[in-house]
Amino acid sequence: MHDDGTMPRPLAPQGRTGRPPVTSRAQILAGARQLIDRDGWEQLTIRKLAAELGVGPTTLYHHVRDKEDLLLLLITAYLDQVPHPELPSTPRDRIVTAAIAIHDSLAAWPWTAEVLTVDGFIARLNESALWFVEAILAGAVDHGCTPQQAVLIFRNMWYYAAGEILVRARTKERATPPDFDAFFSRLDESNLPQLTAVAHEWDAWVRPDTFAQGIEAVVDGLLAQALAT
């Protein structure tokens, strides 16, 4: 549990004492975001960020616990400013809408994929981001699920969304993958007939973003299973 910067710090009697700060957590987060947007996610290192801010690398450790903490603060601040969508009237559509909104926000900033799977990620979100979780849980309960079913539905949707973001984030843009031809030629048509039949189309079929369609199928499947038991 650490200071989130919203509490005014009690001042020493005669004002501040000791060496004055040269930076702050807010400046560090702003610098990190700038560095990522300008030079790419791979360029975000503690040392480069410090250089960007014009401070010593070790100074950052007075403002964030470690690099993972920095990343979590960054994603939290980002999700905090994501607008909440208008929710439709049926519970099922509310679930889908909330899921698409949070997914699209994360997918738009692909480096977030690197932090999505850290232990206790959901528990570290702030209230604005938890609004999406609440919308999904409430939608499931309104649809007729028990609270426990709602939690499991959320978790399964999270697996799907996180998997989609992670796989796509690491799929480079490219015309045709380098060894795709080698891949096709290795296929044994008699053992793998379906795969052989679709091999040449695979890349083109799999490239378009079908998250919205996919999450609808996932949600419908999960809701149907919950209500059937």
In the complex, the residues that contact its own copies under the rule CB under 8 A are 1, 116-120, 123-124, 127, 130-131, 133-134, 137-138, 141, 147-148, 150-152, 155-156, 158-164, 166-167, 169-172, 177-180, 182-183, 186-188, 191-195, 197-198, 201-202, 205-206, 210, 213-214, 216-222, 224-225
Instruction: Please say which residue, 47 or 200, places its beta carbon nearer to DNA.
Output: 47
Instruction: Please say which residue, 56 or 163, places its beta carbon nearer to DNA.
Output: 56
- Does 18 sit near DNA (CB under 7 A)? yes
Contact 31, 79 (CB under 8 A): no
d(CA 166, CA 163): 5
- CA 83 → CA 98, 102, 124, 129, 209, distances in Å? 11, 10, 19, 10, 22
Nearest distance in Å: CB 52, its own copies: 28
The owner of tokens 């044994």 is 188
Instruction: Please say which residue, 11 or 224, places its beta carbon nearer to DNA.
Output: 11
216 binds, among DNA, its own copies, none (CB under 5 to 8 A by kind): its own copies
- Does 4 sit near DNA (CB under 7 A)? no
Region near DNA per CB under 7 A, out of 48-56, 117-125, 132-140, 196-204: 48-56
Nearest distance in Å: CB 125, DNA: 21
110 binds, among DNA, its own copies, none (CB under 5 to 8 A by kind): none
21 binds, among its own copies, DNA, none (CB under 5 to 8 A by kind): DNA
Nearest distance in Å: CB 167, DNA: 21
User: What is the binding site for DNA (CB under 7 A)?
Assistant: 12, 17-23, 45-48, 55-59, 61-63, 66-68
